[in-house]
Structure 1
Amino acid sequence: MPIKNVVSWTAMISGYVEVKKMRIAIELFEAMPVKNHVSWCVILGGFVNCRQFDEALVFFSKMLSSGVRATVPSIIVVANACSFKGNLKQGCKIHGYIIKFGFHLDQIIEASLVSMYCHCLEMKEAELEFRKLEMKYIGSWNALLYGYVNNNNYNIYDARRFFDSIVSRDNLTWNLMINGYLKHNKLDDAMKLFSMMPEPTMEVFTSLMYSFIKNGNLEVAVKLFYRMPERDVVAYTTLVFGYLENGQLEEAMELFNKMPVKNVVSYNVMISGLLLSGKTMEAYYLFKKSPVKDAISWDSLVAGFVENGFYTEGIQLYKNMLLSDTRPSELIIASLLRASARLSIIMHGEQIHGMAVKLGHEGCLIVGNSLINMYGKCGNILMAKFVFDQMSERDVVAWNAIIHSNACNGFGKEAIVMFKKMKMSQIKPDDITFLGILFACNHNCLWEEAQGYFNSMVHDYGIKPSLAHYACLIDLLCRMGMTEKAEELAHSMPFEPDSTVWTSILSGCTLHCNVKLAEHAFNQLNLWDPLDRMPYMHLIRIYESIGRWSDVERIRSKMNELTSITRAGCSWV
């Protein structure tokens, strides 16, 4: 620009503040030849929005020292900075400035002061300061009521005491008190107060509906919806969400289609509900119909596709999302890494890893856990260990991921070492942890150790073994040739043996030539899936090894008959 004035300078600073690039905004601000009260207010607001409260207070002092008088917006900004910082000393100075220059008569400034005292003092002391105020506008009463409602050190009935002392209440006063009851899960008290409200607002109706939905009482929420004198898009969307939460997909879809106006939130709620119900294609078609798509729309769709097993399609959707200039969230990155792990395509996983680093998501716990899992499933244990070692914090999921990665890639002893380190880190193992350890023992034929870990899981940690835990022990016994003991364990466990258990027993019999048990396992597997050729091939190998050629021909003939039988197909069409 050939000529820059204070307006153009302030506009540029405001742009950088908007995208939270405060360093550049400060450099421009310092370079300004002339600053007015608007320029100062913009930079102060930027500091508060970026949670740089100390800097906001320092610059406010600089503003006053430069001879620029404070305005209502700048005072509100620094009062908020004092509130968030809990800086009572500076807040009292601001209060003094307000009185000195006559700003105490402004309604918004008075409410900001009350809010500041609520943040910096005990509520009783904040109320004393409130009583000293000259005007006591309704906004100030509401600010103190908000403080009581949201202060966890006080009983909700302290808020009700103060509410009852307010003579002239507006809709916000009623909304605050009713929402206070809802926050403390006192739905009966909320409904009693609601019945006393002179003119119930849509906001109160909607808040009550949502609370009843979350407490599993959809019937009351529906009654509230139809009692509303008028309904907005939020009320409709809340009830659609309620139907979906209650598993009533058809009712949700019917109400969604009847909505006079829909916004992006309405579409997102319905799309998420369809995905959770496994209606992946229907969710995709609704997504395409949505006139506006935000980051949450893409999050829901990509994550839903991956969750429902459409891994390749999920990755393609991610590419479409990038073309729409939407920034991938941590959730999408984690979902795509899970898709790469399921597909065992490390190239995709590495590309997603690169994107995570570029976006600054690699430090996110859910992304780190997904990276370990992806590299482990794709066979790159070195990268899995590298990611694990780089993590600043680790939860039980991270430890489980590295234990399973080692176990699945043949590093059973390393998995056991990681388990010991996990316990030393004071992270309590769960059922998934022990499944990984038993898997490690299985592949290293460590029967005594496996028994020890199984008993520790039950007696030391109180974890009830699942069928998968028993299946791991049974497979280990079969690997070691103890097929009869494996069968005993299969019949003694509190579960009906499934096809995985019988497959382990049949495989063990094949290796160690236990004909009688192999035939029993074969018959059991035939009951599970008569069209599976695998049991026939195992039994043929056993008969061949002992020279029972007539039985070989008989089983092979039965197996060949399976080729004429086809499984029932399915289609999306």
Structure 2
Amino acid sequence: MKEDGIEPDVTTWNTMITSYAQSGQCHKALGFFCQMQQQADILPNVISWTAMIAGYSQNGLHDKALEFFYEMQQVGVRSDSVTISNVLSACAHVASLQKGKEIHGYIVRNSNEFHSSVCSALIAMYSACGNIAGARWVFDRTPETDKHLVLWNAMIAGYSQNGDNSQALELFRDMQIRCGRLDSVTIASVLPACAGLATLKQGKEIHAYAIRNGFVCVVLVQNALIDMYAKCGNIRYARLVFDNMSERDVVSWTVMIAGYGMHGLGEDSVSIFRQMQQAGMKPNLVTFTCLMSACSHTGLLDEGLEYFSSMTRDLQIKPSMEIYACTVDLLGRAGRLDEAQKIIESMPFQPNACLWGALLGACRMHSNIQVGEYAAKQLYKLEPENAANYVLMSNIYAAAGRWYDVAKVRKMMEEAGLKKPPGCSWIEVKNKLHTFVQGEESHPQMDEIDATLDRVAG
């Protein structure tokens, strides 16, 4: 790269590398980076390395981003907070807790730990890797002066993503007191916690806050509201939010399809999907997963099989493990168990427990011992400590009157030290969540509850 005999300086090299990396042309960015390495008087600096790491991470090449970071350390270029934030993002996407901890150690050794952008990236990394305790450790040790909005949002989102919805709501209330202000990301992060706990009252209060503060027109917030209302049992409100959107992205359509599906309204899911196509919005893999699930749960066999075929035929989308599981469930519910087994065995990758579990559940429904035994055998290998698989096979034998086989399965469970996990349910009354676990009577109003149930049953 040379014009009019003028050698480019480091700024020019970095500009070219960054431009190509940000536009997704990482191979061209790498070409310039390699040329820069060959210069006698100019070598890649922290900006050059960071541009490559960010380019790889932002374009889904997370392993390459991590490779570049380690190579950067080997050549002695010291990273800055932007480098660290991008490489932690790569760790989060590949869910590599070990590498994330290594980079956290590097941060501590280089005294960059309490930079707010790095702290939020650490929280996101630990959360994505399922280590919510590690995320909270970082949050609690960040000085109050550095706990900006982004940090609170990352911690709330981390709790929601890991299913710790009560903690997400508790931190949200704490944030309102201590931080003083929220933004659209806060609202979109806490609404899934309301959805997870089915706390409709709390969800409506947050919706009202979003309206008062002008966040309700943000697509990110609207999508979260649709999801919250659907999961809290109010599909009508979910549809109202959807209908009032001035702009919709693929997530908006997908969440509405999923909402109808979870309410057993498969035909409405199909209708929304067709409207999505008519609007010129291209569905993605998650859209098809939700659509196939809706078809499966409502017995729309022909529609489901057609959509399964059209994915690869018309849109060149490769089915995921979840899509195959929905298709197996769809065929299984229709009693076409041999076809379901053939689909599992013809997959381009090894089937997981979810697939065999769907087939075993269908065998229970249709009392098919032969296919059930085959599915159970696979599950015993994949999940030897999952008592539910043994119980399901035992039920299939019991329905057929094969008591000797029932006893044999129970003996297998005893020898493995397995017990069926107790059932659990919860209900919200006057903005308070009450949890009930099978076999436990620890609730303070248990006597009154038992007396009421006896009256209803009698």
Confirm or deny a common fold (TM above 0.5). yes
Which residue of 208, 211, 227 corresponds with 2:51?
A: 211
Aligned to 1:184: 19
Which residue of 340, 344, 367 corresponds with 2:194?
A: 340
Answer yes or no: is 1:518 the counterpart of 2:358. no
Structure 1, residues 426-449: CA drift from partner, whole Å, max 9, x if none?
011122222222222222322222
Answer yes or no: is 1:237 the counterpart of 2:72. no
Aligned to 1:83: none
More helix by share: 1
Tell me the distance in 1 between the aligned counterparts of 2:416 and 2:111. 56
Q: Map of 1:60-459 to 2, 5 A cutoff?
A: 180-185=15-20, 186-187=32-33, 195=41, 206-214=46-54, 216=65, 217-218=68-69, 221-222=72-73, 236-241=80-85, 244=88, 247=91, 248-250=99-101, 252-259=103-110, 263-291=115-143, 292=145, 293-459=147-313
Between the two proteins, the alignment pairs up a number of residues equal to: 389
> Shift of residue 490 of structure 1?
2.3
SS in structure 1 opposite 2:389? helix
> Shift of residue 251 of structure 1?
5.0
> Shift of residue 484 of structure 1?
2.5
- Relative distance call for 1:516 and 1:325 in structure 2 (3 A) is closer
> Shift of residue 400 of structure 1?
0.7
Give me the CA root mean square deviation: 3.6
Tell me the distance in 1 between the aligned counterparts of 2:176 and 2:252. 28
Which segments of 5 or more consecutive residues in structure 1 lack a partner in the other structure? 1-155, 165-173, 198-203, 229-234, 568-573
Tell me the distance in 2 between the aligned counterparts of 1:561 and 1:489. 33
> Shift of residue 238 of structure 1?
4.1
> 1:368 touches 1:387 (CA, 8 Å); kept in 2?
yes
Q: One-letter code of the match for 2:104? A: M
> 1:490 touches 1:497 (CA, 8 Å); kept in 2?
yes
Tell me the distance in 2 between the aligned counterparts of 1:366 and 1:254. 34
Tell me the distance in 2 between the aligned counterparts of 1:525 and 1:424. 42
- Relative distance call for 1:531 and 1:250 in structure 2 (3 A) is closer
Tell me the distance in 2 between the aligned counterparts of 1:546 and 1:285. 54
Tell me the distance in 1 between the aligned counterparts of 2:331 and 2:111. 64
SS in structure 1 opposite 2:181? coil
Tell me the distance in 1 between the aligned counterparts of 2:73 and 2:398. 69
Q: Map of 1:434-513 to 2, 5 A cutoff?
A: 434-513=288-367
> Shift of residue 211 of structure 1?
2.4
Aligned to 1:125: none
> Shift of residue 246 of structure 1?
6.6
Aligned to 1:170: none
Return the index of the structure with the highest Cα Rg: 1
Q: One-letter code of the match for 2:149? A: A
SS in structure 1 opposite 2:296? helix
Structure 1, residues 249-299: CA drift from partner, whole Å, max 9, x if none?
455334433446764445445444544554432332332232222112222
SS in structure 2 opposite 1:497? coil
> 1:474 touches 1:504 (CA, 8 Å); kept in 2?
yes
Query: Does 1 or 2 have the higher relative contact order (CA < 8 Å, sep 6+)?
Result: 2
> 1:302 touches 1:317 (CA, 8 Å); kept in 2?
yes
SS in structure 2 opposite 1:474? helix
| Greater mean deviation of Cα atoms: 436-445 or 532-541 | 532-541
- Relative distance call for 1:295 and 1:546 in structure 2 (3 A) is closer
Structure 1, residues 278-333: CA drift from partner, whole Å, max 9, x if none?
44323323322322221122222222333344332222222211111342222221
Tell me the distance in 2 between the aligned counterparts of 1:346 and 1:359. 20
- Relative distance call for 1:269 and 1:403 in structure 2 (3 A) is closer
- Relative distance call for 1:531 and 1:274 in structure 2 (3 A) is closer
Aligned to 1:117: none
> 2:388 touches 2:420 (CA, 8 Å); kept in 1?
no
Q: One-letter code of the match for 1:218? A: F
Structure 1, residues 214-268: CA drift from partner, whole Å, max 9, x if none?
3544367548875x9xxxxxx6434544664675545533443344676444544
- Relative distance call for 1:554 and 1:423 in structure 2 (3 A) is same
> 2:10 touches 2:42 (CA, 8 Å); kept in 1?
no
Q: Map of 1:557-572 to 2, 5 A cutoff?
A: 557-560=411-414
Tell me the distance in 2 between the aligned counterparts of 1:276 and 1:451. 33
> Shift of residue 413 of structure 1?
0.7
Tell me the distance in 2 between the aligned counterparts of 1:180 and 1:522. 58
SS in structure 1 opposite 2:261? helix
SS in structure 1 opposite 2:246? coil
Tell me the distance in 1 between the aligned counterparts of 2:364 and 2:391. 10
> 1:280 touches 1:305 (CA, 8 Å); kept in 2?
yes
- Relative distance call for 1:177 and 1:326 in structure 2 (3 A) is farther
Q: One-letter code of the match for 1:253? A: H
> 1:237 touches 1:266 (CA, 8 Å); kept in 2?
yes
Which segments of 5 or more consecutive residues in structure 2 lack a partner in the other structure? 21-31, 56-64, 92-98, 422-458
> 2:81 touches 2:115 (CA, 8 Å); kept in 1?
no
Normalised to the residue count of structure 1, the TM-score between the two structures is: 0.59
> 1:274 touches 1:283 (CA, 8 Å); kept in 2?
yes
Structure 1, residues 411-462: CA drift from partner, whole Å, max 9, x if none?
1111111111111100111222222222222223222222211111111111
Tell me the distance in 2 between the aligned counterparts of 1:195 and 1:205. 12
> 2:153 touches 2:189 (CA, 8 Å); kept in 1?
no
> Shift of residue 478 of structure 1?
1.9
SS in structure 2 opposite 1:184? helix
Q: One-letter code of the match for 2:138? A: L
Q: One-letter code of the match for 2:278? A: M
Tell me the distance in 1 between the aligned counterparts of 2:363 and 2:294. 22
Q: One-letter code of the match for 2:51? A: S
> 1:205 touches 1:225 (CA, 8 Å); kept in 2?
no
Q: One-letter code of the match for 2:172? A: Y
Structure 1, residues 468-492: CA drift from partner, whole Å, max 9, x if none?
2222122122212222232222222
> 1:272 touches 1:301 (CA, 8 Å); kept in 2?
yes
> 1:375 touches 1:384 (CA, 8 Å); kept in 2?
yes
